[in-house]
């Protein structure tokens, strides 16, 4: 297979595989900047994937499915918020509980709603979007600009997120809450409310990642289909140093590993799949080892805040 075609294939695959991770990574960025470790991203992704398929099945409209996924993600995130922010439950434990709950509830749902073990029926999925000039560009058009709507939404969201995080009042408040909650509290910023907001946003983003998987890359739900992408998203955020663009690029990098594996297989090259698949995890550990010291995590990350 010639190089250019391979490159196009690779880029396209990277975007398709990396998009769900990127959504999750963005979600992690928002949550962690405000000081909340959202380990439950994985579970919210799965819930989102399921909800998207369910709504698309019921309405026949995949974009309604996307909306349904976002609503679900926000609700689950709210639950996580109540547990960890209001009740002071340990964020990591509550998050893991959500992950396991997602596995169980979605499996249960598959059984109860469709009476099917493991896979849902095929539902209307997101079609690739045709952009006027861009999609018709020779190589790039196929690879980048013929993705489904969610991938394009991703690009937009990355830009919006960067602006919000760095230049908006809300972004400033989030930074204050994540770095020095006492300082934020002393000027009247509600630490709890800001963290809730960040958590809800991260839930919405994570569920977008889930539905990008179930309705974007595929057209059905498979039990456990997120397979750790939520955690990879968490890792991507760390690798990307807690910035929106960094998280996005890191997620794409991690997606590249998976895409390489697929593309190489298609191109007929024999490489044991596991070598490429462990790349994201190894890279994250490298990042953890190197990132600390240059760019730290938000100082108050993971600490519940008790108002006097």
In the complex, minimum distance from the CB of residue 102 to another protein, in angstroms, rounded to a whole number: 8
Q: Quick one: 5 or 183, whose CB is closer to another protein?
A: 183
| Interface with another protein, residue 249, by CB under 8 A | no
Q: Contact at 8 Å (CB) between 18 and 260?
A: no
Beta bridge partners of 119: 222
| Binding segment (CB under 8 A) for another protein, from list 3-11, 56-64, 103-111, 253-261 | 103-111
Closest CA to 284 of 225, 240, 244, 243: 240
Rounded distance between C-alpha atoms, residue 103 and residue 247, angstroms: 26
Among 46, 235, 247, 253, binds another protein (CB under 8 A): 235
Closest CA to 69 of 102, 42, 44: 44
Rounded distance between C-alpha atoms, residue 106 and residue 104, angstroms: 6
Rounded distance between C-alpha atoms, residue 304 and residue 191, angstroms: 10
| Interface with another protein, residue 222, by CB under 8 A | no
In the complex, minimum distance from the CB of residue 101 to another protein, in angstroms, rounded to a whole number: 4
| Binding segment (CB under 8 A) for another protein, from list 19-27, 44-52, 257-265, 285-293 | 285-293
Among 94, 157, 191, 257, binds another protein (CB under 8 A): 94
Question: Which residues inside 15-44 make contact with another protein, applying CB under 8 A?
Answer: 37, 39
DSSP 79-135: HHHIIIIIS---HHHHHHHHHHHHHHHHHHHHHHHH--SSBPPP---PPBP--TTGG
Q: Quick one: 60 or 121, whose CB is closer to another protein?
A: 121
Q: Quick one: 141 or 302, whose CB is closer to another protein?
A: 302
Among 7, 75, 78, 92, binds another protein (CB under 8 A): 92
Task: Extract the tokens encoding 187.
Answer: 């000027």
Contacts with 99 (C-beta within 8 Å, 6 or more apart), sequence order: 39, 40, 42, 43, 46, 230
Q: Quick one: 3 or 112, whose CB is closer to another protein?
A: 112
Closest CA to 165 of 70, 240, 75: 240
| Interface with another protein, residue 274, by CB under 8 A | yes
| Binding segment (CB under 8 A) for another protein, from list 17-25, 68-76, 143-151, 186-194 | 186-194
Among 128, 141, 149, 228, binds another protein (CB under 8 A): 228
Q: Contact at 8 Å (CB) between 69 and 13?
A: no
| Interface with another protein, residue 159, by CB under 8 A | no
Rounded distance between C-alpha atoms, residue 249 and residue 155, angstroms: 11
Task: Extract the tokens encoding 35.
Answer: 């000081």
| Interface with another protein, residue 87, by CB under 8 A | yes
In the complex, minimum distance from the CB of residue 117 to another protein, in angstroms, rounded to a whole number: 9
| Binding segment (CB under 8 A) for another protein, from list 5-13, 81-89, 125-133, 207-215 | 81-89
Among 71, 107, 218, 245, binds another protein (CB under 8 A): 107
Among 64, 129, 155, 172, binds another protein (CB under 8 A): 172
Cα end-to-end distance, the chain, whole Å: 66
| Interface with another protein, residue 288, by CB under 8 A | yes
């Amino acid at each position: 297979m010639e190089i250019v075609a391979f490159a196009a294939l690779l880029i396209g695959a990277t975007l398709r595989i990396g998009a769900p991770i990127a959504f999750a990574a963005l979600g992690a960025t928002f949550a962690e900047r405000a000081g909340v470790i959202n380990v439950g991203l994985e579970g919210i992704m799965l819930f989102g994937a399921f909800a998207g398929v369910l709504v698309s099945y019921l309405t026949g409209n995949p974009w309604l499915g996307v909306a349904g996924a976002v609503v679900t993600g926000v609700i689950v995130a709210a639950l996580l918020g109540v547990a960890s922010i209001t009740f002071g439950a340990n964020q990591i434990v509550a998050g893991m509980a959500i992950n396991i709950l997602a596995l169980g509830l979605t499996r249960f749902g598959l059984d109860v709603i469709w009476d099917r073990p493991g896979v849902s029926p095929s539902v209307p999925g997101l079609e690739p979007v045709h952009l006027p000039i861009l999609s018709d560009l020779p190589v790039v058009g196929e690879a980048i600009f013929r993705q489904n709507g969610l991938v394009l939404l991703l690009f937009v969201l990355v830009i919006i997120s960067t602006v919000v995080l760095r230049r908006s009042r809300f972004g400033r408040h989030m930074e204050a809450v994540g770095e020095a909650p006492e300082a934020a509290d002393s000027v009247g910023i509600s630490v709890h409310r800001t963290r809730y907001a960040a958590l809800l946003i991260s839930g919405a983003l994570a569920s977008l990642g889930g539905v990008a998987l179930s309705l974007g890359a595929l057209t059905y739900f498979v039990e456990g289909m997120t397979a750790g992408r939520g955690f990879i998203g968490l890792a991507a955020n760390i690798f990307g140093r807690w910035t929106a663009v960094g998280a996005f690029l890191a997620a794409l990098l991690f997606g590249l590993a998976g895409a390489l594996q697929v593309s190489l297989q298609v191109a007929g090259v024999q490489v044991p799949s596991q070598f490429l698949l462990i790349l994201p995890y190894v890279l994250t550990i490298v990042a953890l080892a190197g990132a600390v010291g240059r760019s730290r995590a938000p100082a108050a990350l993971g600490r519940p805040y008790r108002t006097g």
